[in-house]
Structure 1
Amino acid sequence: MPNLRFTEKPLSEWMQKGGDYSDVVISSRVRIARNLVHQPFPIIASTEQAQQVRERLTAALQDEGVQAQGPFEPLVLDELDDVDKEVLMEKHLISPNLINDSRAGAVLLAENESVSIMINEEDHLRIQCLYPGFQLEEAWQRATAIDDAFERVVDYAFDDRRGYLTSCPTNLGTGLRASVMLHLPALAIMNQIGRILSAVSQVGLAVRGLYGEGSEALGNIFQISNQITLGLSEQEIIDNLHSVVMQIIEYEQHARSRLLDESRLRITDRIMRSYGILSYATMMDAKEAFQRISDVRLGVDLGLIDRASAGQMNELLIMTQPGFLQKTFGVKMGSGERDKYRAQMIRDTLSDVHVAD
């Protein structure tokens, strides 16, 4: 049986630490896509061929260089039940595509869950490194070290003109996707978020929701990532994203200062109303939960809610998801039942949260 400790707690160990600009930046992520030479890409591979790739990559864990970057624990997707897979996805350790579309899928997890290496997702190998706060460079350095360790053991598909070959042409070249998850409630409240995100798109970056491509930006949480992987070096991609995110952080911090200076009573009322509803509601759908958690998190960052509650707001982002609710309460739920259990989960969590004096 696989070790399921990875699905028992809502927050990965790496999320317990703050990181730079943690009042605005939730996390930094770097993902590297690679494929093995002389093996069909996952989208056209047979189950037997996909199994061979999985065996080859899990065998690489025995290499000293790879071990030095770990240790990593392999989890085979077929050996997990649906709820555990959903929890891993909600914690950003695996993707929906790995759950729904992969053959012979697996994930290699670091003990503190800051590294997850997906096997037979859209590509044979997807190395993902997650850091708290704004630590994009640190995430990149860790990811490239792991990539180098694997490349010494297995041969990657590479072309002198096109760079690393990937299943999707948008990942050709470096195979690098870097992203930063931002909480931007003040810009949203002041109706500036549309202008900011439009400008971000015009400089070649993508804006997505909490769970990446195709997901809604609930709770004023946005992922900003690079779109171009070919024609730029890895460092140029990281530096470009870093520069744009720094500007967004400054805009959000300025907007928060303006809210306190010009509309303190109104923003305090909004935050306290959300705090009260979360504390006493008996039904809560996901969209409302995320919006009100966003308000309370803003209250924490503005000093209106007990600072010790910041970690609990991060926990609630995961704890209120369908998979984790079912994992916690041990029952399968329809949408109505989820709303009831979600409200209960929030009430129990907020019982220890205090309004600042």
Structure 2
Amino acid sequence: MSNLRFTEQALSDWMRSGGDHSEIVISSRMRIARNLQHLPFPLLATTEQSEEVLAQLAPVFPGEAAGELGTFELLKLDELTELDKKVLVEKHLISPNLANDSHGGAVILNEDESVSIMINEEDHLRIQCLFPGLHVREAWERATAIDDIFEAAVNYAFDDTRGYLTSCPTNVGTGLRASVMVHLPALVMTHQINRILAAVNQVGLTVRGIYGEGSEAVGNIFQISNQITLGQTESEIIENLHSVVAQIIEHEGNARQRLLADSALRITDRVMRSYGILSYAAVMELKESAQRLSDVRLGVDLGILEGPSISVLNELNVKTQPGFLEKLFGDEMTSTERDMFRAKLLRETLGKQL
């Protein structure tokens, strides 16, 4: 299997299937942070120590088939181009931190890209499992099963009082970051979003943009994840997240129905205008593209539009990112050229849906 597949195909195979509440929940993710005993955290490690970490972790998931997860492939970050690393970030297969500092960094990916195992990121090992829709429990079952395989092969840094030791104190304890990516356009349009997000912060959860900490929420897409990793069990973290997201789904669903009941003409006009602009514009900035794709997605979910499919919209959300545009149309673009090629891509894709 060529690693080019991971950077030339915009839509990961795991995203092609639907999931529970997929009209609102884009994905569920579990990420487990672990470190090896008797070796410095990556921020303090020498090149030789980072190579030792890679030598211990890489053989745990070899290339042969690993049950339902298929085969795995190891990609060393120093063997990838800057553009390929940017694309992997845009697909959420590696973190910006790993892409920017690939000192001994690597990632192990399975065939459908639902499992991403990062090595020498902020921690020695970060296991990420992704599912479409609201499937936090299933994502946890997969992540903890992979964690068990690694723990049987290497010695983790663990303290009887503090739990798993991590580079950042906010991850100490379980080392678990559970998150759900949600599309909440109706709560934004009805001006309820700030109240909802404030309530989320009061129950041990936090809200970030689509690329995690420090990123901006664009296109009405928000990432909801746990803040607390110490003092709660993994089950408590997951059930709290699931319960809160279920309530947010209900609020978003109610807001969508109110929009249809009270402002059907206005919301239809908004959706159709965005669809038309995406289909015919000559220049399109990333933020406008994300917002108008959000409008179209809402229109499809509400039955205002028969197409395009959610799979096509998911793919466009990746393909319109700067790195993927350069991958498709040639690198070293100016911002104006990216906006032109983004519009071209949208026209060619959505024009076929007319």
The TM-score, its normalising length taken from structure 2, stands at 0.97
User: Does the 8 A contact of 2:308 with 2:350 survive in 1?
Assistant: no
Q: CA RMSD in A?
A: 1.6
1:198 to 2:198 alignment: yes
Aligned residues: 354
Which residue type is aligned with residue 36 of structure 1?
A: L
1:48 to 2:48 alignment: yes
User: Does the 8 A contact of 2:178 with 2:225 survive in 1?
Assistant: yes
Report what 1:18 is aligned to: 18
Report what 1:244 is aligned to: 244
CA distance 1:280–1:230, shift in 2 (3 Å) = same
How far does residue 88 in structure 1 lie from its aligned partner after superposition? Answer: 0.5
Residues in 2 aligned to 1:152 and 1:280: alpha-carbon distance in whole angstroms: 56
Report what 2:38 is aligned to: 38
Report what 1:301 is aligned to: 301
How far does residue 43 in structure 1 lie from its aligned partner after superposition? Answer: 0.7
Residues in 1 aligned to 2:71 and 2:274: alpha-carbon distance in whole angstroms: 42
User: Does the 8 A contact of 1:102 with 1:122 survive in 2?
Assistant: no
How far does residue 293 in structure 1 lie from its aligned partner after superposition? Answer: 0.5
Query: Counterpart of 2:153 in 1: which secondary structure?
Result: coil
Report what 2:145 is aligned to: 145
Report what 2:330 is aligned to: 330
Which residue type is aligned with residue 305 of structure 1?
A: L
1:27-57 C-alpha deviation (Å, 9 max, x unpaired)? 0000000000011110100111101111111
Which residue type is aligned with residue 141 of structure 1?
A: E
Report what 2:182 is aligned to: 182
Residues in 2 aligned to 1:329 and 1:64: alpha-carbon distance in whole angstroms: 34
- Give the ranges of 4+ consecutive aligned residues of structure 1 lying more than 4 Å apart after TM superposition: 62-70
Matches within 5 A, 1:31-180: 31-62=31-62, 70-180=70-180
How far does residue 333 in structure 1 lie from its aligned partner after superposition? Answer: 0.7
CA distance 1:64–1:99, shift in 2 (3 Å) = closer
Query: Counterpart of 2:195 in 1: which secondary structure?
Result: helix
1:169-222 C-alpha deviation (Å, 9 max, x unpaired)? 100000000000000000101111111111111111110011111111000000
User: Does the 8 A contact of 2:70 with 2:110 survive in 1?
Assistant: yes
How far does residue 306 in structure 1 lie from its aligned partner after superposition? Answer: 1.6
User: Does the 8 A contact of 1:69 with 1:145 survive in 2?
Assistant: no
How far does residue 66 in structure 1 lie from its aligned partner after superposition? Answer: 6.7
How far does residue 69 in structure 1 lie from its aligned partner after superposition? Answer: 5.5
Residues in 2 aligned to 1:337 and 1:244: alpha-carbon distance in whole angstroms: 42
Query: Counterpart of 1:108 in 2: which secondary structure?
Result: strand
How far does residue 61 in structure 1 lie from its aligned partner after superposition? Answer: 2.4
Which residue type is aligned with residue 116 of structure 2?
A: S
Residues in 1 aligned to 2:139 and 2:120: alpha-carbon distance in whole angstroms: 22
Report what 1:311 is aligned to: 311
How far does residue 225 in structure 1 lie from its aligned partner after superposition? Answer: 0.1
How far does residue 330 in structure 1 lie from its aligned partner after superposition? Answer: 2.2
Residues in 2 aligned to 1:340 and 1:331: alpha-carbon distance in whole angstroms: 14
Query: Counterpart of 2:28 in 1: which secondary structure?
Result: strand
User: Does the 8 A contact of 2:28 with 2:135 survive in 1?
Assistant: yes
Query: Counterpart of 1:351 in 2: which secondary structure?
Result: helix
1:139-179 C-alpha deviation (Å, 9 max, x unpaired)? 00000000001100011000000000000010000000000
Residues in 2 aligned to 1:314 and 1:67: alpha-carbon distance in whole angstroms: 27
Gapped runs of 5+ residues in structure 1? none
Residues in 2 aligned to 1:202 and 1:272: alpha-carbon distance in whole angstroms: 37
User: Does the 8 A contact of 2:63 with 2:72 survive in 1?
Assistant: no
CA distance 1:67–1:98, shift in 2 (3 Å) = farther
CA distance 1:16–1:66, shift in 2 (3 Å) = closer
Query: Counterpart of 1:134 in 2: which secondary structure?
Result: coil
User: Does the 8 A contact of 1:66 with 1:146 survive in 2?
Assistant: no
Which residue type is aligned with residue 284 of structure 1?
A: M
Query: Counterpart of 1:327 in 2: which secondary structure?
Result: helix
How far does residue 64 in structure 1 lie from its aligned partner after superposition? Answer: 9.2
Query: Counterpart of 1:230 in 2: which secondary structure?
Result: coil
How far does residue 103 in structure 1 lie from its aligned partner after superposition? Answer: 1.1
Query: Counterpart of 2:219 in 1: which secondary structure?
Result: helix
1:346 to 2:346 alignment: yes
Which residue type is aligned with residue 258 of structure 1?
A: R
Matches within 5 A, 1:269-308: 269-308=269-308
User: Does the 8 A contact of 1:42 with 1:102 survive in 2?
Assistant: no
How far does residue 353 in structure 1 lie from its aligned partner after superposition? Answer: 2.0
CA distance 1:282–1:126, shift in 2 (3 Å) = same
How far does residue 59 in structure 1 lie from its aligned partner after superposition? Answer: 1.9
